[in-house]
């Protein structure tokens, strides 16, 4: 009879050591830090390389390709409900653009400008624009550029003005269901998109309000001057000329908000909103069904004759989500192999020993997001990689996935524009003509959430418990 102490079958998988388990993360950090940070190679290509190297390590550990393939499929399968929502968001943006819903919100947001409260107004208008369009870059590159022109005329320090623009643009971005970052955070953590956004309010809104208070008092001494801006006037005139505005254009937005707050299924509600927006596009904008179909598939093609407006409005469509989804798929492939080979489990064992309390886990999450953001300079990777790594730890602690999605959104995606060598930092500097270190102190909302989330972790305030297994569906 075989002894219970019989030597393990040499063909069975080996349990890796911590040093071995860390090799894929080190390799990925080098690939992304050098490949993406220096040579600007697409992150999905580098993640495929990282997944391949991890697979090779899995072979050395005696795992079969079938085992690792199953790990990849399982990882992607868990994310599919949220990935489908991301695709539906592309449909929603395209239809809302075609109907004139988003252009109308941008137009009336710009009308809020007050020369007496420039910093507050700049932050508010950029928040509204980014919330409506789902793009911080588009907001900075259009409305933000116009505000910089106004700041020059009012002799307001450009670093201060740029900080208010960035703060508003990224607040609207992280609270918008149309933005890549909230969608990715929800997908990675396994949370429902609208649960995630509602939970984000606990950390995002206090930081945003603090910013507005600071802008109000600091801006009081900059009350003189004229708020005329040729760029701003041009944008507003172009929007008014190319779209017919009517209060009924708010209906698609009201449908989404109503269904979200009444906890109805997300995807059907978004599709109903898109269908209503398509009807409004026919009635008010005189768009044909073919043009609406094009907007839903490849995005709304703005042809206003004004480049700044076209950059802001040419958005949406199923195809607009493809690159984001490729990053997600390749990251989940890497994570799936890490999980199946036990490499991730070894790392998580050590993480859980260090994060034996909720505050420790929150601190580890914040730290991993910041390190990833500093190494890669990528909002996507600073959201996906820590989220994929730490998601099991939150489940083990009995914490809802929306806690994790909130932290990786705030500390991963929203911190990247404050890094000078990131693509966001380079873009903002080029668009506004203001260096990162000049606007960084004034982008208060971008970094205030880190301290707020740390406080929540220490006190457990707003750290919601997990109440169901499938957290991708709308819940409390």
Q: Is the pLDDT of residue 80 over 90?
A: no
Q: Which domain holds residue 380?
A: 18-77+322-422+444-459
Query: Helices then strands (H, E): number in the chain?
Result: 23, 0
Same domain? For 262 and 384 the reply is: no
Same domain? For 408 and 393 the reply is: yes
The verdict on residue 3 lying in a domain is no
Mean pLDDT of 367-375: 82
Same domain? For 46 and 179 the reply is: no
Same domain? For 140 and 257 the reply is: yes
The verdict on residue 430 lying in a domain is no
Out of 11-20, 106-115, 180-189, 340-349, which region has the weakest mean confidence (pLDDT)? 106-115
Q: How many domains does the chain have?
A: 2
The verdict on residue 476 lying in a domain is no
Same domain? For 134 and 274 the reply is: yes
Same domain? For 72 and 92 the reply is: no
Instruction: Give the residue, 59 or 412, on which the prediction is more confident.
Output: 59
Q: What would the pLDDT profile of 184-241 be if each residue is shown by its tens digit? A: 899 888 888 888 999 999 999 999 999 999 999 998 876 655 555 677 788 889 999 9
CB-based contacts of 120: which residues, under 8 Å, 6+ apart?
114, 164, 212, 215, 216, 219
Q: Is the pLDDT of residue 4 over 50?
A: no
446 token code pair: 């971008």
Same domain? For 259 and 172 the reply is: yes
Mean pLDDT of 170-188: 89
The verdict on residue 427 lying in a domain is no
pLDDT tier for residue 15 given thresholds of 50, 70 and 90: confident
Same domain? For 261 and 328 the reply is: no
Domain endpoint, select from 282, 317, 352: 317
Out of 96-105, 109-118, 165-174, which region has the weakest mean confidence (pLDDT)? 109-118
Same domain? For 297 and 180 the reply is: yes
Q: With the C-alpha atoms ordered 429, 435, 441, 442, is the resulting torsion angle positive or negative?
A: negative
Average predicted confidence (pLDDT) for the chain: 84
Mean pLDDT of 79-90: 74
Q: What would the pLDDT profile of 294-314 be if each residue is shown by its tens digit? A: 999 999 999 999 887 887 788
Cβ(92)–Cβ(133) under 8 Å?
no
CB-based contacts of 38: which residues, under 8 Å, 6+ apart?
none
Same domain? For 259 and 336 the reply is: no
Domain endpoint, select from 317, 340, 356: 317
pLDDT of residue 1: 42
| Conformational region of residue 155, where left means phi above 0, alpha means psi within -120 to 50, and beta covers everything else | left
The verdict on residue 470 lying in a domain is no
> At which residue do the structure tokens 């300079």 appear?
377
Q: What would the pLDDT profile of 383-433 be if each residue is shown by its tens digit? A: 888 888 888 889 888 899 999 999 999 998 888 899 877 778 878 888 788
Q: Is the pLDDT of residue 381 over 70?
A: yes
Same domain? For 310 and 353 the reply is: no
Instruction: Give the residue, 317 or 323, on which the prediction is more confident.
Output: 317
Same domain? For 328 and 413 the reply is: yes
Mean pLDDT of 230-258: 87
Mean pLDDT of 33-39: 82
């Amino acid at each position: 009879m075989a002894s219970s102490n019989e030597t393990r079958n040499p063909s069975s998988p080996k349990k890796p050591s911590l040093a071995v388990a860390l090799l894929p993360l080190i390799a990925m950090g080098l690939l992304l830090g050098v490949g993406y940070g220096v040579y600007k190679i697409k992150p999905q290509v580098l993640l495929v390389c990282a997944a391949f190297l991890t697979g090779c390590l899995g072979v050395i550990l005696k795992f079969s390709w079938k085992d690792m393939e199953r790990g990849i499929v399982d990882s992607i399968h868990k994310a599919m409900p949220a990935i489908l929502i991301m695709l539906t968001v592309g449909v929603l943006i395209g239809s809302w653009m075609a109907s004139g819903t988003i252009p109308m919100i941008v137009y009336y947001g710009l009308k809020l400008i007050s020369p007496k409260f420039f910093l507050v107004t700049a932050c508010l208008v950029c928040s509204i624009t980014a919330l409506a369009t789902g793009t911080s870059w588009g907001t900075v590159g259009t409305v933000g550029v116009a505000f910089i022109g106004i700041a020059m005329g009012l002799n307001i320090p450009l670093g201060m003005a740029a900080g208010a623009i960035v703060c508003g643009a990224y607040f609207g971005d992280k609270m918008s269901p149309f933005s890549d970052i909230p969608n990715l955070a929800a997908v990675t953590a396994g949370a429902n998109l609208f649960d995630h956004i509602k939970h984000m309010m606990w950390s995002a809104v206090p930081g945003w309000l603090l910013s507005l208070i600071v802008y109000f008092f600091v801006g009081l001494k900059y009350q003189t001057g004229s708020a005329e801006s040729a760029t701003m006037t041009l944008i507003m005139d172009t929007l008014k000329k190319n779209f017919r505005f009517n209060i009924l254009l708010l209906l698609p937005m009201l449908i989404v908000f109503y269904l979200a707050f009444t906890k109805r299924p997300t995807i059907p509600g978004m599709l109903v909103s898109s269908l209503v927006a398509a009807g409004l596009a026919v009635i008010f904008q005189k768009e044909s069904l073919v043009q609406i179909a094009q907007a839903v598939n490849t995005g709304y093609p703005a042809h206003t004759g004004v480049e700044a407006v076209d950059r802001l409005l040419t958005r949406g469509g199923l195809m607009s989500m493809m690159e984001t989804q490729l990053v997600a798929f390749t990251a989940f492939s890497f994570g799936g192999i890490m999980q199946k080979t036990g490499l991730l489990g070894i790392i998580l064992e050590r993480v859980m020993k260090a994060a034996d309390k909720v505050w420790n886990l929150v601190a580890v999450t914040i730290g991993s997001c910041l390190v990833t953001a500093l190494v890669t300079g990528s909002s996507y990777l600073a959201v996906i990689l820590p989220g994929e790594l730490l998601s099991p730890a939150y489940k083990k602690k009995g914490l809802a996935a929306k806690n994790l999605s909130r932290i990786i959104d705030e500390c991963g995606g929203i911190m990247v524009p404050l890094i000078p060598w990131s693509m966001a930092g380079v873009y903002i500097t080029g668009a506004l003509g203001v260096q990162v270190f000049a606007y960084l102190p004034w982008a208060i909302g971008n970094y205030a959430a880190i301290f707020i989330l740390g406080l929540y972790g220490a006190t457990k305030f707003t750290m919601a418990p997990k109440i169901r297994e499938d957290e991708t569906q709308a819940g409390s």
